[in-house]
Amino acid sequence: MECEWLKVANEVIASLSLEERGAAIAYIERRIFPPGETLPWAAIAHRFDEAVVIAFVDLEPALNWTHRGRYLILGVGGGILREVEADRPPFLTGASPNLCLIHQGDGAPDWAVATAATV
């Protein structure tokens, strides 16, 4: 099972409004979750009948938690299957080794980025 990581990353970024793009930091968990597996992040602990990938968008990275964020669940070939509003990131207790940065808006501070790994 392959994933078109660049296509998925671009879909996440395209889902942001112009204002969000300027301020947000977005990540993909670079791992394919097979059908039926429960997703690991508490805010989106769902199961899907198809393989999925997950993303997190920090909409207000200069603020301490809690603040606006969004989880996105996408098909491996692209397409957003579900969006879940959130007020906490998936990495409060440490970032996953699979977490990759896909977007940092011009207004998002460098110190707020959780990982240097990129897609």
pLDDT of residue 95 exceeding 80: no
**114 domain-assigned:** no
Coil, helix or strand for 107? coil
pLDDT of residue 92 exceeding 80: no
**86 domain-assigned:** yes
pLDDT of residue 2 exceeding 80: no
Mean pLDDT score of the chain = 88
Taking only the tens place, the pLDDT of each residue in 18-42 is 999 999 999 999 999 999 988 877 7
pLDDT of residue 106 exceeding 90: yes
Domain of residue 96, residue span: 5-107
**16 domain-assigned:** yes
